[in-house]
Each structure stands twice: as C-alpha cells, then as structure tokens.
Amino acid sequence: MSSNATDTAVMITNVDMATDVGWSWKPFLSTWSDMMHLISAVLGIIGNLLVLLALWKRRASTRSTDRLIGALALADFLTSIFIIPLPGAKTVPSSIMGEIYCKMVLPGLFLFVCFTSSIYILMAISIERYMAVVYPLVYGRLVTRRGLLPAILVFIWFSTFSVYFIFVMTVVTVDPGSHKCILDYASTGSQVVTGVFYLIYRLILPTVVMLTTQILIARSLHLRSARYGPKKGVSFHVKARNRVLQLMLIVILVYIICWGPGQIVFFLYSVGAIPPTFIGSTFHTFVIVLTAYNSCLNPIIYVAWFPEFRSALKQVFNCNIASTSSPIFDQNESGDDNAERRETMTNI
C-alpha cells in the first residue's frame, strides 16, 4: 500500500472516531406515556408489596394457591420496578457496552422475563385450581410433594430467560455519524416467525389453557350440584371456594384485555399487515401502556372482590391483631366435598 493510501485510511479512521458521538440520552418523562408508566409502576409496587406482606402475615406459605398468588405478586412487583421509565439512549458507542445495552437493557431483558413469568404463573394457578376442583384426590397427593411447586416456578422463570435470548434480535447498527439500537431481523421470514411465536407464547396458549380450565371447573361444579341435588344452605368452604374461582376468572379476563391488543398489534406488524409508520403512533403507545397496567390491577381486584384479603390487609396495618396460619386464597377442596355431602344427607 502506498503512503498516500495509508494516510487516507488513517484520516478516514480519525473521522469515524470523531463522528462516533457515543452516549446521548433522551429527556426524562418527556411524554404522556412516560407519566402513565410511572403511575402504573408506583401503583404496582405498592399494591403487590401489600399482597406479599398480607400473605407473609398469614404465614400461609404451605398453601399451594397462596404460594402461587405470592409468586404472581412477586413477578408483578418486579415488573412494576422495571416499568419505571428511565431516559433511553438516542445514540450508543460502537463498543461491547453499546452491544449489551442494545441487546439486553433497551429491549428490557428483566421486564420481558417478569412480564412473561407473570403470565405463566397465572396459567399455573388456573391449572392448580382445576386439579383441586376436578381431581381433588390427585391434587391432595401432589400438594404434599414439597419440591413440586418450587420446581414449577423455577422452570417458568428459567424458560422465559431462554426464550428471550432466542428470539430478541436487537442489534447495534451504524448510521452516518452515530450508532443506534434498532430491531433487526435476518429475513422477512424470521420476522413473521417471531410475530407468530409471540402471539402463541404470550397470548393464545395461556388464554386457551386458562379459559379451558375455567370452563371445565364450571362444568364439574354444575355436575356435582346436579348429582347431590339442591341444598337449603351452602357451607362457608363452598362459598369461599366459589369466590376464589370467580376472582381468578376476573384476573384472567383483565389479563386478556390488557395483553391482547398489544400482542395482536405486534403480530400484525410482524406479518406486514401494519405499516412501519404505525410504530410510535398514539394508538400503538396506548396498547403498550395498557399492557403495563396489568401488573398493578391484580391487588386492586383482590381488595374489591375478596373479603378475606381485606381482612388480611387489616392484619398488616394493625399490629394488635395476631398473625394466623389460615390461608387467604387457598381452600381444601376435599374438605368442601365432604361438607357438601354432609349437608346433602342432612337435607334428605
């Protein structure tokens, strides 16, 4: 290479280094969506922390439903923390730190994991309630296995970490004079596959499982009621069990309302049914905010719908009330069946 060519290469390198502006940041709380996310984060942190404190106060850690509700509250609590809007980078340096920021921080690795874990913990609660009502004897044997429930929760969290690294494809790209984070796909086909996968993984599969278990539970209770005939009264355990089932149906419907629009929009964008100009529009921003609010609504539902949870909250704020080991959300289904049979025999 001649000396002129070498000098030219050095000059180009120096220009590139000079034009690499490195880190630059967007303003903090600059949009209405940032304010809405901040409100959601504050409500979610306070509400889910109260759920965790109420469950701890009741000392109901051995109850499967209460433990799952606690795991759901923990996932939503962490989600609310990671929802807090922080200034995003407009430009990043062409370095390892820039790559890490674009691949993990900006797309929200921890937010993705907490969001998705919350969905699948909710699905696990639906399956657990289904087993408790429809197969109480099998359920009774399963809940005595101490390591089963922790293993399920560990699997849920680990699987969401794995899915994130497989399907998130945010990379550093080079613009004239700066480096920016963009969502890049290897091909149109990979973009479509990603959209279809997320639609199934975070909406269709959980929704189908949760609604199916709710329908089967309702069918089982209807057949059980027809088998034993009408009763003059309903036991406390049966009423409590039915309230838990109604509560979970409300929580599931809220999840569908909050998550459905965002997942459908992402799917339509991935398959090309929505133009790229739609991203960042007012409606697109609205569905993202709606998704975030799912994490703060469950505690509000518990307070509004479930008297036992309100009683547990009073124990949290009133130091004069002693802690108890009675569950908040869990009910012994086999005990409910025996109560129903005793009441039926009394009415005959």
Maximum average pLDDT range among 263-272, 314-323, 338-347: 263-272
16-20: long-range pairs with CB below 8 Å, 24+: 19/176, 19/177, 19/178, 20/93, 20/94, 20/177, 20/178, 20/179
Number of domains, the chain: 1
pLDDT at 71: 93
pLDDT at 78: 94
Does the pLDDT of residue 348 top 90, yes or no? no
- In what helix (H) or strand (E) does residue 181 lie, and over which residues does it extend? strand 178-183
* Within a domain: 6: no
Q: Which of 51-60, 173-182, 213-222, 290-299 has the lowest mean pLDDT?
A: 173-182
* Within a domain: 346: no
Q: How long is the chain? A: 348
146 — pLDDT class (breaks 50, 70, 90): confident
pLDDT at 173: 64
Maximum average pLDDT range among 209-218, 242-251, 267-276: 209-218
Return all residues near 113 (Cβ < 8 A) that are at least 6 apart.
157, 160, 161, 164
pLDDT at 229: 58
**Two tokens, residue 237:** 């355990």
Does the pLDDT of residue 299 top 70, yes or no? yes
pLDDT at 339: 43
pLDDT at 255: 95
**Two tokens, residue 35:** 């304010």
Q: Which of 25-29, 44-48, 134-138, 301-305 has the lowest mean pLDDT?
A: 25-29
pLDDT at 63: 74
pLDDT at 345: 35
CATH classification of the domain holding 301: 1.20.1070.10
Alpha-carbon distances of 171 from 97, 107, 132, 168, 267, rounded to whole Å: 12, 10, 46, 9, 20
* Within a domain: 161: yes
* Within a domain: 4: no
Mean pLDDT score across all residues of the chain:
78
Domain that holds residue 31: 21-341
Alpha-carbon distance of 307 to 190, in angstroms, equals 49
167-199 pLDDT, tens digit per residue, is 654 556 656 556 777 766 777 888 888 889 989
Alpha-carbon distance of 267 to 274, in angstroms, equals 9
Alpha-carbon distance of 144 to 141, in angstroms, equals 6
pLDDT at 325: 66
312-342 pLDDT, tens digit per residue, is 888 888 876 656 667 787 755 444 444 444 4
Higher confidence at residue 281 or residue 234? 281
State the average pLDDT over residues 124-139.
90
* Within a domain: 12: no
* Within a domain: 2: no
